[in-house]
Chains A and B, each alone.
Chain A
Amino acid sequence: MVRATAVVPRHTQPRIPPPLTAAPPPRRIRSPFVSRLLRYAALWALAAFFLMPVYVLVVTSFKNPADVSVTRIWELPTSFSLTNFGEVWPKLASGFRNSLSLAIPASLLSSLLGCANGFVLSKIRFPFANVVFPLILFGIFVPYQAIIIPVSQTMTSVGLRGGGDPSGGLFGLMLIHIIYGLPITTLIFRNHFVGLPNTLLESARLDGAGIFRTFVDLAVPLAKPAFAVSIIWQFTSSWNDFMFGAMMTSRDSWPVTIALNNVAGGQAIPFGQAMAGALLVSLPTLVIYVLLGRFFMRGLLAGTLQD
């Protein structure tokens, strides 16, 4: 699914600035110790709330399957075991392969097209630009239910859906992620280019470079940070997508979310395996989040109303 971010930004890359270090002490005289204590207590309580499912996930996954029981999910393991992972991995391995082969090209291509759009929409005066841009933007918010019947019909009739296609629907699914990713990638790049001075492009034009040249030689290299934001964003949404994957793919080409849902869906499945599976499937996006969190953050904030 696309956790669509919002709209149009006045500035380039919204990000959260660091706190001001030299903030003067508040005038109000309440015991600073007590209020600090309360503040940190609240912060830690909230952190516990957000980490609680992670605790359950990790603790259960590493338990010996014999020790796994729903009523004891809060208890620390008495033994360490990788059995749950070993048993669930074969059920998810092809899903991993499918999702990777889908999400990587989808995020690259969608970003490249988005870069071109963002460049043109921000730097070239354009008739009807103020009609075209809102129309693209609205594409971010469209509920996929409202296009999924036509998508399924079209993909079936061109033979890209499910078993009829040698890739089992993966190629069609990739196209879907590219196309429906365009609005958000366009927005991300447009936000980036709006912040670059026009004089740069002006000078390239005076040097005799046409728009294509300017785009390839100047705009693409200048947009590296926006590429990071956009690729991460698109990768995460393609990886986490469920609905399009369920509609498009046949059993052998299930993306990882659908494989996971089927592993964990039945009550017959030991829930230690379900937990281990959920952990495995979350790892790629979590690793990206931990390593490249600031780009992820910018994707989130891409285009809100503030600076």
Chain B
Amino acid sequence: MTAPLHVPRHSSEAPAPRPPQRQRKPRKQRGPAWLAGLLLVSPSLILIGIFVYGFLGWNVRVSFSDWKGLSPSYDFVGFDNYTKLWHDERFRADARNLIVFTVVFVVGSLLLGFLMAMLLDKGVRGEGFFRGVYLFPMAISFIATAIVWRWLLDNGTGEDTAGLNKLFAAVGLDFLRSDWHKSDSMWAIAAVALPAGWALSGYVMALFLAGMRGVPETLRESARLDGASESQIFWHVVRPALRPVMFSALLIMVHISLKAFDLLYALDQGNLRIDTPSLYMWFTTFDGGFYDRGATIATVLLLGVALVVGPYVWYALRTERR
């Protein structure tokens, strides 16, 4: 960076005749004030620059190479890997799985989270308890979550009926019995939305609850004075105020869903019915040695996340500046 001229930024700093105190200032000013600040953040900026952006670029470069096996190869092959991926049956199935999972999981956890926030919003006895219970799965690793749910989603039949199916049978809801993620249907992965929603819908609740509580009471009060009913107040006052929360919750959940890895990995490793691009990337790269294909899948994933998150970051920063 070239050293810029020191242009005072505050108009008060630079009256044409300098005020005399300025020379008595105890601190010697070497360079602009932000230079020391830059020094303070530079380790992090360099690390993020290299390990995030440098590595993203490196990965994209690998996706244009023919690197297979342990020793890197960077021979440029253009978009070959991308066209191959487009015709790759496993990748197509994975993409379909991911879409099914994302839709079911995101819609489900948003609805559930919103419902929980609505139930808690008005203040109920034991709110802290309920909030804690709905949210604690966030503190638990997906590996532990998957281990429990693996048995809850057991698909044994007859004598071997176990898990949720057993519970359904015990209360006379046998028709709810399901093979869950082991079923033959292409919707099998939708069953994973259950543990994923269990883990994360408390998060959505927290977002919505904070949003609802953020609506100033004076607004509700004045609507009430105007004769609005509680449901009208919700629709015309609270709902519009929740739009940005809705937006954040949606994008956060979508991006978590695109990245989902541990839960699927630990729930039923090797089950192609619940395979997704992020798992495919992992196995093809580190087990198969197809670094070129792995990097290509990763780049596609990155593009997906950037499409979802990029506008969000931009929007959030713009709102903040206003």
Contacts and interface: CB of A to CB of B under 8 A. Distances in A.
Interface string B94-107: 00000000000000
B236 to A, nearest CB: 15
Given A146-B59, A243-B261, A51 B314 contact: no
Contact of B314 (A120, A134, A136, A144): A134
B144 A260 contact: yes
Nearest to B243: A305
29 contacts: A1-B262, A3-B256, A20-B123, A23-B122, A26-B229, A46-B112, A52-B152, A71-B156, A71-B159, A73-B166, A117-B40, A119-B40, A120-B38, A124-B37, A135-B48, A141-B255, A142-B305, A143-B258, A145-B261, A146-B301, A148-B298, A149-B58, A151-B51, A180-B52, A208-B26, A210-B36, A242-B143, A261-B143, A293-B132
B139 A236 contact: yes
Contacts of A39: 119, 124
A39 to B, nearest CB: 6
Interface stretch (B77-85, B173-181, B183-191, B280-288): B280-288
Contact of A285 (B139, B309, B320): B139
B308 to A, nearest CB: 8
A281 B18 CA distance: 65
Nearest to B10: A125
A: contact size bracket: 35 or more
B16 interface: no
Interface string B37-53: 11011011101100111
Contact of B36 (A10, A212, A271, A300): A212
A282 B51 contact: no
A147 B147 contact: no
Contacts of A301: 206-207, 210
A197 interface: no
Contact of A300 (B203, B229, B231, B314): B203
Interface string B139-168: 111111101110110101001111100110
B48 A139 contact: yes
Given A53-B145, A142-B56, A279-B144, 16 more contacts: A26-B230, A27-B224, A50-B133, A116-B44, A117-B40, A125-B34, A141-B255, A143-B258, A143-B298, A149-B62, A150-B55, A180-B51, A261-B265, A285-B141, A300-B135, A300-B206
Contact of A70 (B26, B151, B266): B151
A27 B220 CA distance: 13
Name which of A16, A212, A278, A301 has the most chain B CB atoms within 10 A of its CB: A16
Contacts of B266: 242, 261, 264-265
A149 B121 contact: no
Interface of A: 1, 3-10, 14-21, 23-24, 26-28, 39-40, 42-43, 46-47, 49-53, 56-57, 70-71, 73-74, 113-114, 116-117, 119-121, 124-127, 130, 132-139, 141-154, 179-180, 182-183, 186, 205, 208, 210-212, 215, 236, 239-240, 242-243, 247, 257, 260-261, 264-265, 271, 274-275, 277-279, 281-282, 285-286, 288-290, 293, 296-297, 300-301, 303-307
A28 B231 contact: yes
A242 B59 contact: no
B269 interface: yes
A132 B46 CA distance: 11
B33 to A, nearest CB: 7
B295 interface: yes
A300 to B, nearest CB: 6
A303 B252 CA distance: 12
A138 B170 contact: no
Name which of A133, A141, A288 has the most chain B CB atoms within 10 A of its CB: A141
B149 A210 contact: no
A1 B142 contact: yes
Contacts, number: 336
Contacts of B286: 152, 247
A208 B245 CA distance: 43
Interface string B50-74: 0111111011001000000000100
B72 to A, nearest CB: 7
A28 B40 contact: no
B211 to A, nearest CB: 5
Nearest to A247: B286
Interface string B196-231: 001010110011011101100100000010000111
Given A43-B124, A186-B44, A242-B265, A282 B141 contact: yes
Given A56-B152, A305-B319, A138 B143 contact: no
Given A7-B313, A71-B160, A147 B56 contact: yes
B127 interface: yes
A19 B160 CA distance: 47
A260 B150 CA distance: 14
Given A20-B123, A70-B151, A138-B310, A239 B56 contact: no
Interface string B284-322: 011000010011011101100110011011101101100
B248 A117 contact: no
B52 A139 contact: yes
Contacts of B109: none
Name which of A6, A24, A57, A305 has the most chain B CB atoms within 10 A of its CB: A305
Contact of B38 (A42, A73, A126, A147): A126
Given A133-B317, A285-B140, A120 B41 contact: yes
